Amino acid sequence: MTTYSPLKKWNVGKGSRVAVVGLGGLGHIAVQFAHALGTDVTVIGHSESKKNEAAQFGADNYYVSSPEVFQKLAGQFDFILNTATVDIDVNAYLNLLRVDGKLVYVGLGAAHQEYSVFSLFAGEKIITASNVGGVPVTQEMLDFAGKHGIKPKIEIIDPSYVPTAYQRVINSDVHYRFVIDISKL
């Protein structure tokens, strides 16, 4: 729901160029939804390690964030969904947007984010965030996911594994979501 709701709210669909920042627990679902909505989907990641998986989820392109990549992709996207929980260079991402482009946060980093207001003026860009939707949108999302075979990639763990799983989350060693098997409590 976290990734579906903003895509629907901002009318992202066929003909839209979408960038998903991060291919983790939220990002891999966002790519699937954006692809099923008919968009051209690009993933911007921090390493080459998930490039092949991004394509399997429906990404048309995959780039590792760098100054050269940001220069190459300037003005290319209608919508950027930030699923990462790390600090990003907001100005650099705003530069990737077309006129009236939206940068939407669903991944929440702990640090304060800064940007220049002038980064918004060049194309009347929008920075916003999305939390979740209500019951009707949730049902719509479930129906859409079912119709398009969208599902999370999970690793089922025992409750005793939780401390190790937590450390793996900190180490960015999760592909893509942990699910605790509560039958083993």
Q: Summarize pLDDT for 132-162 with one digit per residue, the tens.
A: 788 999 999 999 999 999 999 999 999 999 9
Measured CA to CA in angstroms, residue 143 lies from 41, 56, 138, 148, 149 at distances of 21, 22, 9, 9, 10
Domains within the chain, CATH numbers bracketed: 4-135 (3.40.50.720), 153-185 (no CATH)
Residue 87: what pLDDT?
85
Beta bridge partners, 21, equal 44, 82
- The tokens describing 21, both together, are 């920042």
Q: Confidence band (pLDDT; 50, 70, 90) for 62?
A: very high
- Sort 158 into a burial class: Cβ within 10 Å, 0-12 / 13-18 / 19+: middle
**pLDDT tens-digit map of 18-28:** 999 999 999 99
Question: Using one digit for the tens of pLDDT, what is the confidence trace for 70-80?
Answer: 999 999 999 99
- Residue 90's H or E segment, with its range, is helix 90-94
Q: Rounded to a whole number, what is the distance in angstroms from the first to the last CA of the chain?
A: 28
Residue 63: the pLDDT is 98
CB-based burial label for 168 (10 Å; 0-12, 13-18, 19+): middle
pLDDT of residue 179: 94
Distance between CA atoms of residues 10 and 16, nearest Å: 11
Q: How confident is the model at residue 171 (pLDDT cuts 50, 70, 90)?
A: confident
pTM: predicted TM-score of the whole model, two decimal places: 0.92
- Provide the token pair at 153: 């990639």
Kindly indicate the confidence band of residue 118, based on its pLDDT and cuts at 50, 70 and 90. Answer: confident
- pLDDT of 121 strictly over 90: no
- Name the H helices within 3-158: 4-9, 27-36, 51-57, 67-72, 90-94, 118-121, 135-148
